[in-house]
Structure 1
Amino acid sequence: MATLADAGSTADPRYTKVAIWLHWLIGLSVIVNIGLAMLTEGLPREAHREAMNVHKALGITILVLTALRILWRLGHKPPPLPAGTPAWQRPVSKILHFLFYLLLILLPLSGWVWMSAADRPIDFFGLFTVPSIAAPSKALADTLHERHELLGITMLVLVVIHILAVLKHQYVDRTRLMGRMNPF
């Protein structure tokens, strides 16, 4: 017969394999894109331009993967938070996940509109040119440039919070939370 002490030793429910792989593909792509945006500023012009071409194509990829992730989530309920999760952390978790999804849509979309308004087509890894979604407009391009950078900084902050929270839950609280998203 199981006791309360035994309850903590059973594995917490996991996300589906599709959700796990989309999480890691999106997460790693976001980290690479933040790095491309922040760490290539001082490179020679041509190297920076090449890095930004990858950044833009990867942004479109993130947008598509996020759409797939949202569609998948609509049909597949995520596992519940571990039983010992404090009550205040539950709404905070929901809010942070909502903000992630919002940024995962707004950040690449703002970049796409910005490039469209700046009349700078996005080359998708040499395979095709992404269609423009806005008419050329210097004012719109300038505004979206600023907004895109602000959204990027916000994403960076959320990524750091997410990683720190996962590490805290795993190693301080010992909830084995990382196992829910372990692809292996």
Structure 2
Amino acid sequence: MATVAFDAGSTAGPRYTKVAIWLHWLIGLSVIANIGLAMLTEGMGRDTHMAAMGVHKALGMTILALTVLRILWRLGHKAPPLPASIAAWQRAASKIVHFLFYALLILLPLSGWVWMSAAGRGIDYFGLFTIPAITGSDKALADVMHERHELLGLTMLALVAIHILAALKHWLVDKSGVNARMNPF
């Protein structure tokens, strides 16, 4: 099992591996972009909205692939311990939030894929190829998956907001150094 790198200039001690750090930021920024594509283009003209949704779907499938890669990486690379200054309730909250993130990072794109499949469509992957449908055409299933996908998306939005606020609290208020574990620079 690989060990985590230590950054001598950090007050947080051990850091995540560079691969884990870059996957974190790639996935995180992709999720934020995808939420923006879904929400900010809602009231725009049909052509603009449909073009944005094409990118949204392809990016969602990219997020799914990156998440699988991140989980596989994580299985072989232990997370660095939290600083001793982190309260027990925050440690517990961190575990719950991370579990929910991983669940949503898998369920959200899968629900979109099932939705599009049940609607009788594959997913165009940035014009390179089409990801095939995984179910047959089924309007009732498509309607249910549409609702579930939107609910999961709103849950992801709330979780991202909580995560960002917690990171800002650790950085600006607590000055715990915990953020240095995931700093890519």
Q: TM-score, normalised by structure 1?
A: 0.94
Give CA deviations for 1:61-118 in whole Å, capped at 9, x if unaligned: 0000000000000000000011111111111110110000000000000000000000
Shift of 1:131: 1.2
Q: Superposition pairs for residues 141-160 of structure 1, below 5 Å? A: 141-160=142-161
The secondary structure found in structure 1 opposite 2:88 is coil
- Amino acid corresponding to residue 62 of structure 1 in structure 2: I
Q: Structure 2: any 5+ residue segments left out of the alignment?
A: 1-9
Q: Superposition pairs for residues 101-120 of structure 1, below 5 Å? A: 101-120=102-121
- Amino acid corresponding to residue 115 of structure 1 in structure 2: M
Indicate how the Cα distance of structure 1 residues 177 and 11 shifts in structure 2: closer, same or farther if over 3 A, else same: closer
Q: Distance in 2 between matches of 1:152 and 1:145?
A: 11
Q: Structure 1: any 5+ residue segments left out of the alignment?
A: 1-8
Q: Distance in 2 between matches of 1:48 and 1:32?
A: 14
Give CA deviations for 1:124-158 in whole Å, capped at 9, x if unaligned: 00000001111110000000000000000000000
Larger Rg: 1
1:137 equivalent in structure 2:
138
2:6 equivalent in structure 1:
none
The secondary structure found in structure 1 opposite 2:124 is strand
Q: Distance in 1 between matches of 2:14 and 2:30?
A: 26
Q: Superposition pairs for residues 1-184 of structure 1, below 5 Å? A: 10-184=11-185
Give CA deviations for 1:21-53 in whole Å, capped at 9, x if unaligned: 000000000000000000001111011000000
Identity %: 76
The secondary structure found in structure 2 opposite 1:123 is strand
Q: Distance in 2 between matches of 1:179 and 1:112?
A: 35
Shift of 1:10: 3.9
